[in-house]
Amino acid sequence: MAKILIADDDREVRELIIFTLRFAGHDVLGVSNGEEACQEAKKHHPNLILMDVRMPKLNGYEACKALKADRATAAIPVIFISVRGQEAEVQAGLEAGAEDYIMKPISPDKLAEKVKQYLQKAKK
């Protein structure tokens, strides 16, 4: 069982992702903005962070850059999940340090499978 942090300001989306990943057997924590994502990542040291791009306080790019700049959280893989999928936005996410950029909407089964793949990759 992996510890996963979800950062999304849309409560319904966040709760759906949390439900999906808990059902898949993971320990999941949800927050509603980038600032909280950075704080909770330092506190809980998750195995993976799934993060929206558009969030208050710190957007996803800013939060990812902050996480990657901090020695305590730099190794935690970050995956963006966003409706914003223009090539420039995807590139900005990868340049911020994210492992991947997944487009919303994504089916619960596909999300659980993607998470499983990244967790297996991170163990290697």
Tell me the per-residue pLDDT of 65-104, one tens digit each, with 9 for 90 and over: 999 999 999 999 999 998 876 788 888 888 999 999 998 8
Pair of tokens at residue 26: 């993971």
121: pLDDT strictly greater than 90:
no
Tell me the per-residue pLDDT of 30-60, one tens digit each, with 9 for 90 and over: 999 999 999 999 999 999 999 999 999 999 9
Q: Could you give the domains of the chain?
A: 3-123 (3.40.50.2300)
Where is 101: in which H helix or E strand? strand 100-103
Confidence at residue 124, expressed as pLDDT on a 0 to 100 scale: 63
Where is 54: in which H helix or E strand? none
Assign 27 to helix, strand or coil.
Answer: strand
Peptide bond into 108 cis (omega under 30): no
